[in-house]
Amino acid sequence: MLSATTNQLERAHEHVILKSKLAKSRTAAFFTELWVRLGQPKYLDVPMSYQDIADYLGLTIETLSRSITDLERSGLISRVSGRKLLLQNRFALGRMMN
């Protein structure tokens, strides 16, 4: 039980720190962390709507959309379909988190 509580506390702390970053960094961090939690699949099936992601990250839907478009233009991700993404350059995406 202590381990589970510690993990939840650590994730909450990381989420607070995440909200202090720029929108593009928040978006990159969200997709990278989701990719890791889902077992590092080839394609990332995003289980949330973009509105839910924006709310979670403390962004507007428009800002999230611009951030995703910027990540696409940078060649870091590509949209395969509706909520399916390909993280093309996970190393560079991970660097944006800092």
Of residues 44, 31, 38, the one with CA closest to residue 70: 31
Tally of domains within the chain: 1
What are the pLDDT digits (tens) for 52-72? 999 999 999 999 999 999 999
What are the pLDDT digits (tens) for 75-98? 999 999 888 999 998 888 878 766
What are the pLDDT digits (tens) for 35-55? 998 999 999 999 999 999 999
The CATH number of residue 55's host domain is 1.10.10.10
Give residue 59's domain range.
2-96
**What does the DSSP 8-state code read for residue 19?**
T
Amino acid letter, residue 37: R
Q: Print burial letters for 31-54: b (CB count within 10 Å at least 16), e (below 16).
A: bbbbbeeeeeeeebebeeeeeebb
Of residues 42, 45, 47, 53, the one with CA closest to residue 88: 42
Note the pTM of the prediction, 2 decimals. Answer: 0.75
